[in-house]
Amino acid sequence: MNEFDNMIKIGELADKKITEQIVSEMLRRNIHLEKVYDSQNQMFVLYARDEESATIAFDYYRVKVGFAPPPKPMPKEWESIKNAPLGKVTIVFLAISIFVYLSRLFMGDTLFELFFMSNHQTGGLSEIKNGEFWRIFTPVFLHFNLLHILFNGMWMKDLGSLIEHHKGKIFYITLILISGLLSNIGQYYVKGPFFGGLSGIVYALLGFVWMNKKFFPEVSYSLPKNDVLLMIGWFFFCFTGVLGPIANTAHGIGLAIGMIFGVFSGSFSNQKFDSMNMLGYCLLALIFGAGTFAFEFYVLPMITGS
């Protein structure tokens, strides 16, 4: 029985230098590979001792021999985001959202309907007026498909935990409550009560991280410029209607609130007070929030005839 029969073959290479580079790199990662020279075929054969090591080594081997593109390094901004511990408040919001989503799959709409601002398109929030006050906030926990909750949940986990860790629970909860309440109210007056999702809050978190770094460069966290552009691009893409009914007003109001929080949430003691720059970005926030509301409330009905 050959000693390599119980090992996992990674691959074969004719180039000794590349083979040694692979072995050396894996050793740096605490993965020990066996290198054997096959004189008959004039090839170097690499073996791993276990399945986990073999998987990592094979991925690297494919890159070195040109079978796969090298993985792109994670942007340094995302390294700081991923290093933030998962926040307790964030866990609570994600857990409630997942529970409500699963309740609809397994229990029908009985619980789900208690989270809408109202169960009637017309009637003026009669449930809230009759004491069901939680409804003014709870639409944030409603998600209508798997992609919806995954998209919102991933951003909430990353950006929410980041802000909770760096700014504290009180600040984080305040940002969540204000952005959630106002985005819900704005969306209700535009389209009625049948909407939901964490996306208004997610856009508030995005707006905060974006502006906070811009006005207070000393903070240790930020988003890569490409991700900011992606989220803003997604914001406008949602207006096209390609994705179906979208709570655009909630997105716009949430983004505006997060931006304003970001502009005013630091200390100006160590830098020049740039009032014109602050005013400019506050006006931009107003355009995102009030502009989206006005467009959906006044302009869109005229365009669609609804």
Note down pLDDT in tens along the chain; length 306 residues: 456 667 888 888 888 888 888 889 889 888 888 888 888 888 888 888 888 888 888 888 887 777 656 556 777 888 888 889 999 999 999 999 999 999 999 999 999 999 999 998 887 888 999 999 999 999 999 999 998 999 999 999 999 999 999 999 999 999 999 999 999 999 999 989 999 999 999 999 999 999 999 998 888 899 888 888 988 888 888 887 777 788 999 999 999 999 999 998 875 555 566 788 889 999 999 999 999 999 888 877 777 665
Spot the catalytic one: 161, 251, 265, 275. 251
pLDDT value for 244: 74
pLDDT recorded at residue 263: 92
Residue 306 structure tokens: 């609804």
| pLDDT at site 68 | 56
Predicted local distance difference test score (pLDDT) of residue 55: 85
Judge whether 258 and 205 are in contact, CB under 8 Å.
yes
**Distance between CA atoms of residues 296 and 19, nearest Å:** 61
- Residue 13 pairs in a beta bridge with 44
Query: 8-64 has which fold?
Result: Alpha-Beta Plaits (3.30.70)
Give the whole-angstrom CA distance, residue 80 versus residue 223: 9
Give the pLDDT score at 70.
58
Asked if 199 is an active-site residue, the reply is yes
| 252, 293 Cβ separation under 8 angstroms | yes
Annotated domain spans of the chain: 8-64, 76-304
**CA gap 27, 46 in Å, rounded:** 13
Radius of gyration for the alpha carbons in the chain, expressed in angstroms and rounded: 26
- Domain 76-304 sits in which CATH superfamily? Rhomboid-like (1.20.1540.10)
Active-site annotation holder among 199, 220, 265, 267: 199
H-only helix segments in the chain: 16-28, 51-64, 76-83, 88-107, 126-129, 146-155, 161-167, 169-191, 199-215, 225-237, 248-264, 275-286, 292-294, 300-304
Please say if 143 is a catalytic residue: no
